[in-house]
Amino acid sequence: MSFTQILDTISAGIIILDRDLKVLKWNNWLERYSSIKAEEIQGKSIFKYFPNLDVPWFLRNCKSVFAFGNFSFFSQKIHNYCFPFKNVTTLDTSFEYMQQNCTMGPIRDEASQVQYIYILVQDVTDIADYEKKLTEINNRDGLTGLYNRMYLNIQLDDEVNRLKRYGRKFSLIMLDIDHFKAINDNYGHLCGDQVLRNISGLLGKHKRAVDVIARYGGEEFCCLLPETSLEEAEIVAERIRTTVEKAVFLYEDSNINVTVSLGLTEAKDPSLSLEDILKKADDALYQAKKGGRNQVVKMVF
């Protein structure tokens, strides 16, 4: 079997480029997934077909491999893909394009001089999709489907860092279901679980794409609103309160009415710590509960 036959039978993409970064070899795997025939692309600049690669990081790696004969690895976790091939997997996936790990290495002549470079392209979409779904599961609360406290804390840390570095304010809402113990006592814990899921669904209807809503613990929830003022957060909180108050939750033959108390604060001082912000929102929630429940209380620094 010839060298060319080997390249055309492996289940990965192989590209060979000369020093002008023109395509010398484009194997069958690449033809299949790119819909570009070898006779069409060979002899032409790789950038004519893939202008997304005409960027410093790719050019720098090509230059390094030619100069030093080393290897470069382009991880899916960093680059997602080098070649924008449409995802053709039959699995349910959120990726529009094939996710790839790519390796670049030297091809030497008889005098051990680097004359060409190759790029090996491997389809890792299934692995990337599995890792993404596994991460998503780890970030979610099992009962409500909302984000869990661990994920919320990561996002809060990011927002605090953005506040310190760029002065980007944010607001935080803490929410607690009123008299939740009575619901469990009167209707049972299965009903309580259903109420938690119903409240979670209502909260999701009031979030923007950038907002993070999490189950903070028990019957308590937390809403992180990036780049949102206290006044804007109060509108959101009041909208949540009235939506829950008007909702009727059906459990078996019972109609259950639920209310929530909400405390909120705005973080706009770069000297604030995450603990300061959480405590202020929690203090506001405590005041809402102490003041009669089913209300919104805001506290400022």
Catalytic, 219? Answer yes
Copy the structure tokens of residue 117: 């470079």
- Enumerate the β-bridge partners of residue 251: 254
Residue 102, Cβ neighbours under 10 Å: how many? 23
Give the β-pairing of 23-26 and 13-17.
antiparallel
**E strands along 44-189, which residues?**
72-74, 100-108, 114-123, 170-177
Q: Which amino acid is at 156?
A: L
Q: Which of 159, 219, 220, 234 is catalytic?
A: 219
The string of DSSP codes covering 170-187 is EEEEEEEETTHHHHHHHH
3-class SS of residue 138: helix
Residue 249, Cβ neighbours under 10 Å: how many? 18
Q: Which strand (E) or helix (H) includes residue 283?
A: helix 274-290
Rounded CA separation 145/124 (Å): 27
Residue 7, Cβ neighbours under 10 Å: how many? 20
Report the chain's C-alpha Rg in angstroms: 28
3-class SS of residue 2: coil
The DSSP call for residue 83 is S
Nearest to 262 by CA among 280, 289, 235: 289
Are 289 and 206 spatial neighbours (Cβ–Cβ below 8 Å)? no
Catalytic residue numbers, as ranges:
219
